[in-house]
Structure 1
Amino acid sequence: MTRAIDPVDLAARLIACPSITPRSAGVFDVLEDALIPLGFEVHRFLAGTEPEGPVENMVAIRGSGAPHFAFAGHLDVVPPGEGWRSDPFTPEIKDGLLYGRGAVDMKSGVAAFVAACSELADHPGTISLLITGDEEGPALYGTVSIMAWLAERNIKPDMIVIGEPTSEIRLGDVVKIGRRGTVNMWVTVPGVQGHVAYPHRADNPVPKLARVIAALDALHFDHGTDAFQASNLEITALETGSRATNIIPGSATAQLNIRFNDLHRGAEMIALVRKTAEAAAPGTTVEAKISGEAFLTPPGPLYQLVTDAIRAETGIEPRLSTSGGTSDGRFLIALCPVVDFGLLNATMHKLDEAAAVDDIRALARIYARIVEAALASAG
Structure 2
Amino acid sequence: MSDPQNPVDLTAALVRCPSVTPEEGGALGLLSDLLSDAGFDCTRVDRNGVANLYARWGAKGAERSFGFNGHTDVVPVGDVTDWSVDPFGAEVRDGVLWGRGAVDMKSGVAAFAAAAVDFVRETPPDGAVILAITGDEEGPSVDGTRALLEWMDEAGERMSVCLVGEPTCPDRMGEMIKIGRRGSMSAWFTVKGTQGHSAYPHRANNPLPPMVRLLDRLASMRLDEGTDHFDASTLAVVTVDTGNPTTNVIPATCRATVNIRFNDTHTGSSLTRLLQSEAEKVADAYGVTIEMDAKISGEAFLTPPGPLSDLVAAAVEAETGVTPELSTSGGTSDARFVKDHCPVVEFGLVGKTMHAVDERVPTDQIVTLKAVYRRILDSYFA
Segments of 5+ residues of structure 1 without an aligned counterpart are 49-53
Q: Does residue 50 of structure 2 align to residue 55 of structure 1?
A: yes
Q: Does residue 300 of structure 2 align to residue 294 of structure 1?
A: yes
**Alpha-carbon offset, residue 245 of structure 1:** 4.1
- 2:375 aligns with 369
Q: What amino acid does structure 1 have at the position aligned with 2:70? A: G
Cα distance in structure 1, aligned partners of 2:244 and 2:24: 38
Moved more, 198-207 or 274-283: 198-207
Segments of 5+ residues of structure 2 without an aligned counterpart are none
Q: Does residue 62 of structure 2 align to residue 74 of structure 1?
A: no
**Change in 2 beyond 3 A, CA 1:208/1:4:** closer
**Percentage identity across aligned positions?**
49
- 1:186 aligns with 188
Q: What amino acid does structure 1 have at the position aligned with 2:143? A: Y
Q: Does residue 162 of structure 2 align to residue 160 of structure 1?
A: yes
Kindly indicate whether the alpha-carbon contact (under 8 Å) linking 1:67 and 1:374 is maintained by their aligned counterparts in 2: no
Q: Per-residue displacement from partner, 1:296-342 (whole Å, max 9, x unpaired)?
A: 00122111110111111111110000001111111111111100100
- 1:92 aligns with 91
Cα distance in structure 1, aligned partners of 2:12 and 2:198: 58
Local SS of the residue matching 1:113 = helix
Cα distance in structure 1, aligned partners of 2:140 and 2:200: 43
**Change in 2 beyond 3 A, CA 1:35/1:244:** farther
**Alpha-carbon offset, residue 246 of structure 1:** 4.0
Q: Does residue 28 of structure 2 align to residue 33 of structure 1?
A: no
- 1:51 aligns with none
Kindly indicate whether the alpha-carbon contact (under 8 Å) linking 1:215 and 1:277 is maintained by their aligned counterparts in 2: no
Cα distance in structure 2, aligned partners of 1:303 and 1:269: 30
Cα distance in structure 2, aligned partners of 1:199 and 1:221: 36
TM-score, length-normalised on structure 2? Answer: 0.93
Kindly indicate whether the alpha-carbon contact (under 8 Å) linking 2:195 and 2:205 is maintained by their aligned counterparts in 1: yes
RMSD of equivalent CA atoms? 1.4
Local SS of the residue matching 1:160 = strand
Kindly indicate whether the alpha-carbon contact (under 8 Å) linking 1:177 and 1:296 is maintained by their aligned counterparts in 2: yes
Kindly indicate whether the alpha-carbon contact (under 8 Å) linking 2:4 and 2:34 is maintained by their aligned counterparts in 1: no
Cα distance in structure 2, aligned partners of 1:58 and 1:133: 9
Local SS of the residue matching 1:234 = strand
**Change in 2 beyond 3 A, CA 1:95/1:193:** farther
Kindly indicate whether the alpha-carbon contact (under 8 Å) linking 2:4 and 2:10 is maintained by their aligned counterparts in 1: no
**Alpha-carbon offset, residue 242 of structure 1:** 2.8
Cα distance in structure 2, aligned partners of 1:135 and 1:245: 43
TM-score, length-normalised on structure 1? Answer: 0.94
Q: Per-residue displacement from partner, 1:63-116 (whole Å, max 9, x unpaired)?
A: 122210000011111111122222212211122211111111101000001111
Q: What amino acid does structure 2 have at the position aligned with 1:56? A: A
Cα distance in structure 2, aligned partners of 1:244 and 1:75: 47
**Alpha-carbon offset, residue 124 of structure 1:** 1.9
Kindly indicate whether the alpha-carbon contact (under 8 Å) linking 2:45 and 2:151 is maintained by their aligned counterparts in 1: no
Q: How many residues align?
A: 369
